[in-house]
Amino acid sequence: MNEILSDFISELRAAGLPVSMTEHVDAARAATMIDLVDRETLRAALSATLVKDHDHRPVFDSAFEVFFARRGTAAAVDDPATDEVDPGETTRPPRGGAGAQGQGGRSGRGGSGSMSSVSPEQLQEMLWNAMMNGSPEDLREVAQHAVELYADIEPGRRVGGTYYLYRTLRNLDVEGLRHKLSAASAGSTPDSAWAQRAAQVDVEVKVRELQAAIEKEIRERLVADRGASSLAKSVRKPLPEDIDVMHATRDEMLQLEKALRPLARKLATRLARRRRRRRRGPVDLRHTVRRSLSTGGVPIDLRFKPPHPAKPEIIVIADISGSVASFARFTLHMVYAIASQFSKVRSFVFIDGLDEVTRLFDDSDDPGEAVARINAEADVIAFDGHSDYGRALTDFVTRFGRDINRRSVVIILGDARNNYHQAHPETVRYLKEKARAVYWLNPEPTTYWNSGDSVIAQYAPYLTKIVECRSLRQLEAFVGDLA
Amino acid sequence: MTTIDPRFELAQRLGLDEVPAPQFADAAEVVTRLREQDYLSSPEIASATFLADRLAKPVLVEGPAGTGKTALAQAVARATGAELIRLQCYEGLDESKALYEWNYRKQLLRIQAGRESGDAATWAALEDDIFAEDFLLPRPLLEAIRATHPVVLLIDEVDRVELETEALLLEILSEYQVSIPELGTVRATQIPMVFLTSNATRELSEALKRRCLYLHIGYPDVERERDIILSRVPGVTTALAEQIARVVRSLRDLDLKKHPSVSETLDWARTLVILGQSEIGDDEAAATLHILLKYQSDIETVQKELFGRRSS
């Protein structure tokens, strides 16, 4: 057990979770106090001792599934007296022929033996029954058969299993199932919008459960095939803050959206507290002298003026063309979430034309909502709908250049991929001369800069700083430093 | 595996004569004993509570508002027959409100009394005298440590205090002791159960998290919420409870500013019972929506989502 636990914790650390020595000890102690046969108890015990942030839970869960797959714990429990359970051994089926198992692929399951295949029709029927009366055991059995029948797992391939999941779900005709379930529940529920809605969510939940069961089944087979540590690397999910915004999958994008709001809120609270508690302003001479009268003119008790740090005025100019749109959305959301830290925030978006969108944010107290409206309402296409930084910046300088002063901080967002148009770096030089600072946030990794049609080098000499900003964590750090 | 029992270890450090017996034999016992107090726990909650007791560690409970974080501590206190000592945190909470304070008025009186009676006490004797336990006003944390009977310490909404104030808690959480410069160190005479709750409005420090077990209480699933309604709302039928639980879950699926919490679900269930409803119709539901949702924009979203769809 200790061995598996150490491997498991190494994996958590590799995925970015901060697990300290104390927590490792706690987990090991907790494991001695619970019934190891029950996976859910073990999961609860380990999560209570190792995971101290709810956002880290998905990472923990996916690693847990890999390391403590059903067969894995069974083996560890078989012989709890010895600590020397070889981790490689435990991840294979406990009963005999561990070597041969991996080769079998389709004949997969070791102990449960007589899993001879069922026909697709039978399977559909079993699936339907499992969905309707929904006991977890039925569902698991269906998942086992489904994976057996459709996933066609190739032993030894270094994949995370997403493809197998997709193949199984497609063959099971999950979309059809969803329709059938909706139809069935619509027939039996009363004609009230509430009940209908509740029934719909019910169907969604059931389908999600099925998906999870199949995913789990596939993962268990992969663990049996390749061993836990190796599989863990393939399925490792980054923390939401660390996901690369430019290359996020649709799923990861949803996670990002979800992580953004609490992150922005926490940042706002932190900054507000910092401002309130920040060190005092300069010495208030009049007040100090007045106080000194009671000590015979000796200024013992210094009085200070209230702090007046000048709040900067933020001007965001964001490229919202396809490639960087989501990055721009996140940044605008983040900046507006802490808008109270600035004297004023104005925002502009462009593709090859430029439009001011400040009003959208003024209308609504929820930055997320305003950001969602940008795409529909901003007028940003002048010609062909390909980013043209030179044009947009020239446009900005002619129309709004006179509003820039020494208190303005200009932030330009984009990958500087100019589609081989003119870069017009003199516009940025002009901004730099008038503004307090000009930052450029680039969502591409540094190594890609200046490759292809990226013209960031032409602007670079006139920028206060170019910041590589690929994940929410980097973005949060940058926005936090602004205030 | 030779691991020293953490309770034994802690008892030794505190200098106790005998190791206080753990409250629960296993997680299943936690479930049953909390159920007797009308608190329905999930496996996670039961596990964390059980481990907190066994490992003699505080539990940090996080989750959305109104999901039963504070209620958990209260239920555990009732179930174990312990006294609940509660420290409500707020911004600006300091040592003198959380730990202890010298009763300086009483100290002044003592000094004056000494002077008038002509008591020729030396300064040293006087100092010893006025910094004795008699002049100490214990605040919740010290009170919990000094208690000789079993206590459950609840530190509520710990995310409201400043980062600096958090440090005050560290000594108690890891060592179960309080250091008072004039008196020395006060050690616990038993092992109190400690719960900290947080709404996650800010990130708590690593130091604090490391000293605690962690439990996230989210919204319950339909079955548990139904059972909660049944146990807490008198006069509700199983069918209605089930319906309520399902509707509430469907609302939590929407993108709202504030999702309905368990306590709001209970309020809603009570309202429907009082109104004599046996099932949820559209009109009654629409009329009582403000009990579940606390923002006008949320109410509008839900109405659009539900009734807009039907008319189309």
Indicate if B88 and B158 belong to the same structural domain.
yes
Q: What is the mean pLDDT of residues B13-30?
A: 86
Please state the domain count of chain B.
Answer: 3
Helix (H, G, I), strand (E, B) or coil at A282: coil
Same domain, yes or no: B120 and B60:
no
Q: Which residue has the tokens 């109405």?
A: B303
Min Cα–Cα distance to chain B from A374, Å? 19
Residue B197, in any domain of the structure: yes
Q: Does B304 touch chain A (CB under 8 A)?
A: no
Asked if residues B263 and B248 have their Cβ atoms less than 8 Å apart, the reply is: no
Neighbours of A34 (CB within 10 A): 19
Cβ-based contacts of A193 with chain B (< 8 Å): 282, 306-307, 309-310
Domain end, chosen from B216, B232, B266, is at B216
Our CA-based measurement puts residue B232 at a distance from the nearest CA of chain A, in whole angstroms, of 22
Q: For every one of its 483 residues, what pLDDT tens digit does chain A have, with 9 covering 90 and above?
A: 788 888 889 888 888 888 898 899 999 988 888 888 788 888 899 999 999 888 888 888 888 888 886 554 434 433 333 333 344 433 334 333 333 333 333 333 433 434 456 777 777 777 777 777 767 777 777 777 777 777 677 666 666 667 777 777 777 777 777 777 777 776 666 666 777 777 777 788 888 888 878 877 777 777 777 777 777 776 666 677 777 777 777 777 777 777 777 777 777 777 776 666 666 677 888 888 888 888 888 887 888 877 665 677 888 888 888 777 788 888 888 778 777 777 788 888 888 888 888 888 887 777 777 777 877 777 777 777 788 888 889 989 999 888 888 888 888 888 888 888 888 888 889 988 888 888 888 888 888 888 888 888 888 888 888 888 888 888 888 877 776
Place of tokens 């450090």: B13
B81 and B150 in contact (C-beta within 8 Å)? yes
| CA distance, residue A366 to nearest chain B CA (Å) | 9
- How high is the mean pLDDT of chain B? 85
Residue B33: pLDDT band with limits 50, 70, 90:
very high
CATH classification at residue B165 = 3.40.50.300
| Residue A285 to chain B, least CA–CA distance (Å) | 29
B69 within a domain of the structure (yes/no): yes
Answer whether B214 sits within 8 Å of A48, measured CB to CB: yes
Give CA–CA dist B18/A452, Å, rounded: 74
- Smallest CA–CA separation between A194 and chain B, in Å? 6
Q: Is the same domain home to B238 and B89? A: no
Task: Say if residue B177 is in the same domain as residue B249.
Answer: no
Return the higher-pLDDT residue of A397 and B253.
A397
Q: Which residues of A touch B293 (CB under 8 A)?
A: none
**Tokens 């901060």, residue located:** A18
Tell if the CB–CB gap between A201 and B213 is shorter than 8 Å.
no
Residues 6+ apart with CB under 8 A from B199: B62, B63, B64, B65, B157, B159
Single out the residue in B167, B190, B216 at which a domain terminates: B216
Q: Name the B residues in 118-137 with CB < 8 Å from any A CB.
A: none
List the domains of chain A with CATH numbers. Answer: 2-93 (no CATH), 120-235 (no CATH), 253-278+310-482 (3.40.50.410), 282-309 (no CATH)
Q: What is the pLDDT of residue A76?
A: 41
Q: Find tokens 């505190």 and name the residue.
A: B14
**Position B209 pLDDT exceeds 50:** yes
What is the model's pLDDT at position A189?
62
Confidence bin at B86 (pLDDT 50/70/90): very high
Look at A51 and B200 and tell me if their CB atoms are within 8 Å: no
Q: Does the pTM exceed 0.80?
A: no
What is the rounded distance in angstroms from the CA atom of residue B220 to the CA atom of residue B205? 28
Which of B170, B198, B216 is at the close of a domain? B216
Structure tokens at A465: 């700083």
CB-closest option in A32, A44, A199 to B47: A44
Quick one: B146 and B209 in the same domain? yes
Q: Tell the burial category of A263 from Cβ atoms under 10 Å away from its Cβ (0-12, 13-18, 19+).
A: buried
Contacts of residue A446, defined as CB under 8 A and 6 or more positions apart, other chains included, come to A468
Same domain, B59 and B43: yes
Over range B68-75, report the average pLDDT. 92
Q: Give A-chain residues touching B165 at CB under 8 angstroms.
A: none
Spatial contact of A214 and A143, defined as CB atoms under 8 Å apart: yes
Cβ of B202 under 8 Å from any chain A Cβ?
Answer: yes
The CA-atom distances, in angstroms, between A471 and each of A249, A338, A435, A448 are 14, 18, 27, 16
Is the minimum CB–CB distance between B22 and chain A shorter than 8 Å? no
Q: pLDDT value at position A280?
A: 66
Radius of gyration in angstroms for the set of CA atoms belonging to chain B, rounded to a whole number: 25
DSSP summary character for residue A113: -
Residues B143-183 pLDDT 10s: 999 888 899 999 999 988 887 788 888 888 888 888 888 88
List B residues 135-194 in contact with A (Cβ-Cβ < 8 A). Answer: 162
Q: Do B114 and B229 belong to one domain?
A: no
Residues in chain A with CB shorter than 8 Å from the CB of B26 are 34-35
B210 near A CB under 8 A: yes
Residue B1 lies in a domain: no
Q: Looking at the structure, tell me whether residues B153 and B280 fall in a common domain.
A: no
DSSP per-residue string spanning A130-162: HHHH--HHHHHHHHHHHIIIII-PPTT----SH
Is the Cβ pair B59, A48 closer than 8 Å? yes
Answer yes or no: do B291 and B235 share one domain.
Answer: yes
Q: Is the pLDDT of residue B229 over 70?
A: yes
Of A418, A454, A412, A410, the closest CA to residue A327 belongs to: A412
Say whether residue B30 is in contact with chain A using an 8 A CB cutoff.
no
Q: Which domain holds residue B245?
A: 222-311
Judge if B145 and B273 occupy the same domain. no
Phi, psi dihedral angles at A318 (to 5 degrees) = -120, 135
The verdict on a CB contact (< 8 Å) between A49 and B250 is: no
**Residue B198 sits in the same domain as residue B299:** no
Would the CB atoms of A49 and B209 count as touching at under 8 Å? Answer: no
Q: Is B188 in the same domain as B149? A: yes
pLDDT band for B118, please (50, 70, 90 cuts).
low
Q: What is the distance between the alpha carbons of residues A423 and A425, in angstroms, rounded to a whole number?
A: 6
Is B47 touching A (CB cutoff 8 A)?
Answer: yes
Greater model confidence, B2 or A472: A472
Helix/strand/coil percent split, chain B, to 5? 55, 15, 35
Q: Is residue B291 part of a domain?
A: yes
- Inter-chain touch A44–B243, beta carbons under 8 Å: no
**Separation of alpha carbons B202 and B165, rounded Å:** 14
